[in-house]
Amino acid sequence: MVAVLAAVPLAVLASPWALAAGRPPTVAGALVVCGGVALAVFGPLVAMPLAELERRRLRLVDARPVRPGHAAPPAAGVAAWLRTRYAEAATWREFGYACLLAVLVPPVYGAVGLAVLLVVMLLAGPLLVAGAEGPVAIGVATVGTVREALPYALAGLAGVPIAGYLLVALAAAHGALARRLLEGRPEQRLRAELVEVSRSRARLVDAFEAERRRIERDLHDGAQQRLLGLTLQLGMALLDLPPGSPAAERVGEAHRQARELMRELREVIRGIHPRVLTDRGLVAALEELADRAALPVTVHAELPGRPPPPVESTAYFVVSEALTNAARHGGATQATVTVAWRDGLLTVEVADDGAGGADPDAGTGLTGLADRVAAVGGRMLLSSPAEGPTVVRVELACELSG
């Protein structure tokens, strides 16, 4: 059945060669060219569903999964799907497999079928002679009596295991050919899996960034506003109490703790996602970060637009962590932050005059920064000799928006 499915369309497409046999040379050449073009254009469209059917049939003799080597289908329409499929090596391997089915299956399966039929006829020879009135042809000879047919029946009996092995060998060869041509190559499977991992990682980064923004918004508009209201009420209550009274002291202490909690909450919100980064962009956020840093920081940043939110957030937190490390672990007295964008590449560099010797394995957060940069498709470079200085450079591919 599979051979028929493959042979009929290919025979129709190859019919110009048959028609060209009795035509003049010019007409014959034109027909052959048209047939070749039609075969190349429509052949893969026939081969792809046939290959899927063959992969399902292969499970009957081989339980191992057979994964096609096709990439994920694009979502841009039929034209994009055709361009993708016709550019894949897997499509043309499937087309070659369909051609092999059309060319090899009829003679090979026909020869094996004739061999099996011969064994059956030899075995049935005595029965055929006994029920006939004259000589009977049993494939390799003509016998007239049961006695003459018995040696051939014994030969047929000996041929039963041979026929069985022949069928098994044919099925194994067909299965091996199908697996060889219809299964995606390891490097193609790895490439497809890598593409899917990259896409899923990008989706996770987007989801994580959206969740950070939601938490920051909820804290800023919810908890912080309520805490601010509580602080104001405590301050007003303190004004109504007699100075120096025990109640005034307790309310004053509560008011002080509320203000301290307000300050800590602002720091938490900035650590989650600073509002200035959302409202005014990376340059303004870095300038504010430099003002709040524990050491003098000079910022050199001028961007013609804004990077995408995940890239912008990553760049900001790289600078924040690098400045924290410089002040806390490196003993730096000053630092410089340089941000530039050119030819689709955003570079962020943080240099300090600290003692150097930064080690990603020492728990300073550098490994986490590198992972975060890699999650948005960038890379982080570190230079930190033993005597300093330390330079952290991040490169992020992105386009800027106005």
Residues 6+ apart with CB under 8 A from 229: none
Please tell me the distance from the alpha carbon of residue 4 to that of residue 92, in angstroms, as a whole number: 20
CB 374 within 8 Å of CB 342: no
- Which tokens go with 302? 């001028």
Strand ranges of the sheet holding 297-301, from the earlier edge strand across to the other edge: 297-301, 335-342, 345-352, 390-397, 379-383
pLDDT of amino acid 9:
44
Angle at 393 between CA 390 and CA 398, to 5 degrees: 165
pLDDT of amino acid 207:
65
pLDDT digits (tens, 9 = 90+) for 346-373: 999 999 988 888 877 766 577 778 888 8
CB 153 within 8 Å of CB 120: no
What DSSP assignment string belongs to 313-343?
HHHHHHHHHHHHHHHHTS--S-EEEEEEEET
CB 208 within 8 Å of CB 371: no
Please tell me the distance from the alpha carbon of residue 192 to that of residue 175, in angstroms, as a whole number: 24
Please tell me the distance from the alpha carbon of residue 386 to that of residue 165, in angstroms, as a whole number: 73
* pTM across the whole model: 0.47
pLDDT digits (tens, 9 = 90+) for 277-294: 888 889 998 998 898 888
Per the model's pLDDT, the better-predicted residue between 72 and 382 turns out to be: 382
pLDDT digits (tens, 9 = 90+) for 173-226: 888 888 878 776 655 556 666 666 666 666 666 666 666 667 766 676 777 778
Please tell me the distance from the alpha carbon of residue 265 to that of residue 79, in angstroms, as a whole number: 54
Mean pLDDT calculated for residue range 81-110 = 82
pLDDT digits (tens, 9 = 90+) for 52-61: 888 888 887 7
The dihedral sign for the CA sequence 46, 48, 52, 58: positive
Please tell me the distance from the alpha carbon of residue 179 to that of residue 399, in angstroms, as a whole number: 43
Residue with tokens 């499937």: 94
Q: Which pLDDT band, with edges at 50, 70 and 90, does 337 fall under? A: very high
Mean pLDDT of the chain, nearest integer: 78
Please tell me the distance from the alpha carbon of residue 347 to that of residue 98, in angstroms, as a whole number: 51
pLDDT of amino acid 299:
93
pLDDT at 241 exceeding the cut of 70: yes
Question: Which helix (H) or strand (E) is 219 found in, with range?
Answer: none
CB 52 within 8 Å of CB 68: yes
Between 135-149, 153-167, 331-345, the lowest mean confidence (pLDDT) is in: 135-149
pLDDT at 257 exceeding the cut of 80: yes
Per the model's pLDDT, the better-predicted residue between 291 and 86 turns out to be: 291
Please tell me the distance from the alpha carbon of residue 288 to that of residue 231, in angstroms, as a whole number: 25
pLDDT at 157 exceeding the cut of 50: yes
Q: Which pLDDT band, with edges at 50, 70 and 90, does 393 fall under? A: very high
CB 35 within 8 Å of CB 15: yes
Share of the chain above pLDDT 90, in %: 7
Q: Which CATH superfamily is domain 280-397 in?
A: Histidine kinase-like ATPase, C-terminal domain (3.30.565.10)
pLDDT of amino acid 341:
92
CB 223 within 8 Å of CB 261: no
